[in-house]
Homo-oligomer: A and B are copies of this chain.
């Protein structure tokens, strides 16, 4: 990795939720340990079932974590952007990756090797705390996904996603840009692009949102929240 990247790397590490607040010497040591990798769009970072080498951080680009069925269907568990760690759940001795990671765009990631990380973990209990917090958060995300899949219909999932994207204080008229292609979004919402398209249409027809390509305007956030909550009441 070029010299010019080293400071960027240090910056990345220091901002990561896992290493936040770590002394400079540790960050420096980490920067020396970490293994950079380039991954082209559509290529895997690792495959489900492969023995864990460690966990990763997204340096540039986007990486999705997916489950694939033999029948070729795909469910996205999460899409990670710059600075985010992934595969932190596969850190134990002999662990295997429980899902596949694929680059959504041309990306650069860094591998934090398992052994070295464990050594650091033993030395710095603060990292354990951060890791526990991170794992707990991931559990909450997965619980929310299960809730979506089991308890909500496609339009309601979309509504919840849009509200999530807009953040808490979503005013009427607020606009959001979809950060991923619609096929990817469909996979994340547990459906197909066709169904997503129809769901967008449905909300747009009811003047709850307006869609212009990847730009979605929230015309009526309150109604959107109702729909997200599972209100079925059609117009």
Contacts and interface: CB of A to CB of B under 8 A. Distances in A.
A69 B131 contact: no
Contacts of A99: 143
Interface stretch (A11-19, A23-31, A134-142): A134-142
Nearest to A69: B151
A27 B176 CA distance: 51
B136 A142 contact: no
A185 to B, nearest CB: 15
A149 B151 CA distance: 11
Copy count, this protein chain:
2
Interface of A: 67, 69-71, 73, 75, 77, 89-92, 95, 98-99, 122, 125, 128-129, 131-133, 135-136, 138-140, 142-147, 149-152, 190, 229-232
11 contacts: A69-B151, A75-B150, A89-B140, A91-B132, A91-B136, A98-B144, A125-B125, A138-B139, A139-B139, A142-B142, A149-B149
A184 to B, nearest CB: 15
A146 B98 contact: no
B70 A231 contact: yes
A45 to B, nearest CB: 16
Nearest to A70: B230
Contacts of A230: 69-71
Given A77-B146, A131-B132, A71 B139 contact: no
Contacts of A70: 229-231
Contacts of A75: 146-147, 150-151
Contacts of A231: 70
A147 B67 contact: yes
Given A147-B67, A231-B70, A135 B139 contact: yes
A89 B136 contact: yes
Contacts of A139: 89, 98, 135, 138-139, 142
